Amino acid sequence: MSEHKTPESKPTRAQIRLQRSNRYKVLRTIVQVAVLVALVAFAIISIIHSNPTQSRTGTSTQTTAAGTGKGTAQYEGKSFVALSYPGLTKSTSLESRIVNQALFEEQLDALKANGYVTITQDDIINFYLYYGSLPDKALFLIIEDGLIDTPTLAQSALEKNQYIATLCTYANNLANTDSKFINAKLLLALSKLNCWEMGTDGYRLAYINIFDRYNNFFGQLNAEEFVKIRQYLWRDYNHYLMDFIRDQDRLRVETEAELQTRIKTDYDTLRSDYTAALGYVPSLYVLMHSNTGAFATDGIASEANRQSIMNLFAMNFNREGTCLNTLDSSIYDLSRLQVQSYFSTNHLLMRMQDDTGEATQFLTGDEEESHHWYLDDGVAQYKGNQIILTSEPAGRGQITLNPRLFSDLDMTVSLQGNLVGRQSIALRTDRNWEHGLEVALEDNWLEVWDMSGDGQELFRRNLFEFDGGPYISTQEDERNGLIALQNAIIQFDTDPDRVTKVQDMLAKLQTMPVLMLADGGTPYYPVNDTSERASRKLRIRLVGERMSIWVDDKPIVDQLKVPGVQLGAISLGAKVFQNNDERYTQHNIFDDVYDAVFTDLVISDTQNPDTVLYDYRLTPDQTINSVLTGWFNAVVNFFVDHF
């Protein structure tokens, strides 16, 4: 990471502007300017340090985990953690890319229980520029992307925990009163509430130099267009401020001066729009995208961004993936952990513990149910009808049912963790997994293993093929992506000449012959994204030396021969995907913690199905309440999405 230096001259008002509206604002600003002038040399030193070294190790137990010690000793009062959320929703859909409101509330409650206290932008400025102190467990919260429903969904949890958060918006959405994003009127009203500070994600969310997974050039797209074609992409694209605009041969189509003007124009327009909406420009900036090593992927673009960022803003969140910030960080190179929609609360706490070394109180949930299980690795939360088993960083999680031993059984359970990761059920085993049978889902494959000795694979089946895939050829998929591109431009682009051009292209594509799967086309197999969630219902029947398995009520293997009868325990496992190849994720998310989710686990006697040996399902009243709540949320989200 290159060192980022501030200008030698006196900082701008934006760098020292205090966000909170109170009677001391003017006086404090004058004092800060005076002190900054006197201590400018120290201020420069404090913001040009390189990134801190952030370990990815940690240990945990079910309730409280001992940290590595770096949080409790070295960094106590000398650091803060930053978390950001992409928005909130009431939806519980596994396909949602933003965080469920109830989960957000649970996570904030857990952070509060662990002693975290939120800090403000003023506190960060004071920390870096004047070596001010912070609470021992200082937390900085960011809500990104400016979705219009998010403040309403978040506010009660913030107020309950006496937390404050920074709300980031895109400036180009402020004038639009009919969109799903926060407009100027709402932003001004929110800025007057005690639980919100203002920040910005920039002027616009737009993309350049886009290529699909077949290396077709898609050019430039706005946010709405990008969403429509995202499923056809790899990571071969860039954000608007990150690089020169390039052609299909990846050659520049603008000069250095044109690039600098384009980037500066975005910041100038941002300044104008926020000044009109709020009367000032927010002090906090989140540069899109993160982790470039500087302020863009291209050096010239990076310098253009650097100049505007340091002239306009007091701080910049430039990195993502770790939450810890210390004085070794630069105030213009801060890092936040982006909480993903699939993070359980313990998943979030595990990531934070690993970054900070702080001892952490994890959630157990249903205490009575937890007493039925031994905790062997990781942490587990028992939640209504779900067992959420969270792995150690780059490791595994394991619980074992106690105290009964089983031989024959009939089991049903739904596995609802991410596709890329290992969810395991071990039968006739011990707590060391030195013998027995493992039934596992990983990367959308079903596997059965004999765990004795070095282990032997007994069965393996691709569930994409089991579902009936592949459904189309790669040639069809490529054409579908090109058609989706033309439709997206027609729907969202405001340039009439461009729309006319793509209408002609669309007509050609729709009549263009391609090699279909039935005619010998190459079968198309999707690559699973690390953030992709799924739900699979398993039924496992084990009798003697024979095992039968059903997936989603369809038989996948019948009377598989397995090792001889023996008594053993039932154990559940979670493991991070550790294949040697770089697993694809469109958002380039780094995550070495995994949640296996076991829902509606029931174990029955093979001789008498009415004899239930274990049951972790909702009660009838809870089931009715869950169905009604789910229905209500589905209706609400339908109207939010379509009106």
pLDDT reading at 14 higher than 70: no
Q: Which CATH architecture has domain 364-467+529-617?
A: Sandwich (2.60)
- pLDDT given at position 242: 96
Q: What percentage of the chain reaches a pLDDT higher than 70? A: 83
pLDDT reading at 359 higher than 50: yes
More confident residue, 397 or 609: 397
Count Cβ atoms within 10 A of the Cβ of residue 231 and give its class: 0-12 exposed, 13-18 middle, 19 or more buried. middle
- pLDDT given at position 615: 96
pLDDT reading at 69 higher than 50: no
Mean pLDDT, residues 454-468: 97
**Sorting pLDDT into bands at 50, 70 and 90, what band is 60?**
very low
**Between 474-492 and 496-511, two packed helices, what is the crossing angle to 10 degrees?**
150
Contact (Cβ atoms closer than 8 angstroms) between residue 448 and residue 549: yes
Establish how many alpha carbons lie within 13 A of residue 441's alpha carbon, considering only the half-sphere containing its beta carbon.
Answer: 27
Structure confidence by residue, pLDDT tens digits, 249-261? 999 999 999 999 9
Single out the residue of 188, 81, 110 nearest to residue 365, CA to CA: 110
Q: Which of 52-56, 313-317, 547-551, 628-632 has the lowest mean pLDDT?
A: 52-56
pLDDT reading at 640 higher than 80: no
* Residue 159 to residue 191: CA distance in whole angstroms: 15
pLDDT reading at 643 higher than 70: no
* Residue 448 to residue 619: CA distance in whole angstroms: 32
- pLDDT given at position 625: 67
Structure confidence by residue, pLDDT tens digits, 111-146? 999 999 999 999 999 999 999 999 999 999 999 999
- pLDDT given at position 53: 32
Contact (Cβ atoms closer than 8 angstroms) between residue 364 and residue 64: no
Single out the residue of 387, 385, 383 nearest to residue 401, CA to CA: 387
**Sorting pLDDT into bands at 50, 70 and 90, what band is 59?**
very low
- pLDDT given at position 529: 87
| H or E segment and range at residue 572 | strand 569-575
- pLDDT given at position 621: 65
- pLDDT given at position 438: 98
pLDDT reading at 567 higher than 60: yes
pLDDT reading at 47 higher than 50: no
**Sorting pLDDT into bands at 50, 70 and 90, what band is 271?**
very high
The residue whose two tokens read 């926020």 is 274
- pLDDT given at position 12: 39
Q: Which of 326-340, 441-455, 504-518, 627-641 has the lowest mean pLDDT?
A: 627-641
The structure tokens listed for 431 are: 């707590």
Kindly report the average pLDDT of the chain as a whole number. Answer: 87
**Sorting pLDDT into bands at 50, 70 and 90, what band is 574?**
very high
Q: Hey, which bits of 451-511 come out as E strands?
A: 456-462
CB atoms within 10 A of CB 113: 11
User: How many helices (H) and strands (E) are present in the chain, helices listed first?
Assistant: 16, 31
DSSP tag of 212: B
pTM: 0.85
pLDDT reading at 15 higher than 50: no
Mean pLDDT, residues 400-419: 95
The structure tokens listed for 26 are: 């003017």
Instruction: Quickly list DSSP for 46-101.
Output: HTS--PPP--------SSEE---SIIIIITTTSEEEEEEE--EES---TT-SSEEH
Structure confidence by residue, pLDDT tens digits, 294-330? 899 999 999 999 999 999 999 999 999 999 999 998 9
More confident residue, 99 or 624: 99
Mean pLDDT, residues 56-72: 44
Mean pLDDT, residues 412-426: 97
pLDDT reading at 27 higher than 90: no
Question: How far are the Cα atoms of 125, 184, 246, 636 from residue 223, in angstroms, in the given order?
Answer: 32, 19, 19, 24
CB atoms within 10 A of CB 161: 18
Count Cβ atoms within 10 A of the Cβ of residue 72 and give its class: 0-12 exposed, 13-18 middle, 19 or more buried. middle
Count Cβ atoms within 10 A of the Cβ of residue 255 and give its class: 0-12 exposed, 13-18 middle, 19 or more buried. exposed
Single out the residue of 102, 101, 142 nearest to residue 119, CA to CA: 142
Contact (Cβ atoms closer than 8 angstroms) between residue 78 and residue 67: no
- pLDDT given at position 578: 78
pLDDT reading at 237 higher than 60: yes
Going from N- to C-terminal start, the domains of the chain cover 13-54+71-205+240-356, 364-467+529-617
Q: Which of 274-283, 476-485, 628-637 has the lowest mean pLDDT?
A: 628-637
Topology of 13-54+71-205+240-356 in CATH? Answer: TIM Barrel (3.20.20)
- pLDDT given at position 347: 98
The distance of Cα 54 from the centroid of its chain, to the nearest Å, equals 19
More confident residue, 583 or 289: 289
* Residue 38 to residue 50: CA distance in whole angstroms: 24
* Residue 42 to residue 622: CA distance in whole angstroms: 59
* Residue 397 to residue 388: CA distance in whole angstroms: 10
Q: What are phi and psi of 252, to 5 degrees?
A: -60, 140
pLDDT reading at 102 higher than 90: yes
More confident residue, 641 or 48: 641
Contacts 24+ apart (CB under 8 A), 493-497: 493/222, 493/225
DSSP tag of 527: P
Q: Hey, which bits of 296-378 come out as E strands?
A: 315-320, 324-326, 334-338, 360-361, 373-377
Mean pLDDT, residues 491-507: 94
Structure confidence by residue, pLDDT tens digits, 528-557? 988 899 999 999 999 999 999 999 999 999
pLDDT reading at 41 higher than 80: no
Mean pLDDT, residues 140-167: 96
- pLDDT given at position 586: 44
More confident residue, 585 or 255: 255
pLDDT reading at 46 higher than 90: no
pLDDT reading at 72 higher than 70: no
Mean pLDDT, residues 442-452: 96
- pLDDT given at position 54: 33
- pLDDT given at position 635: 67
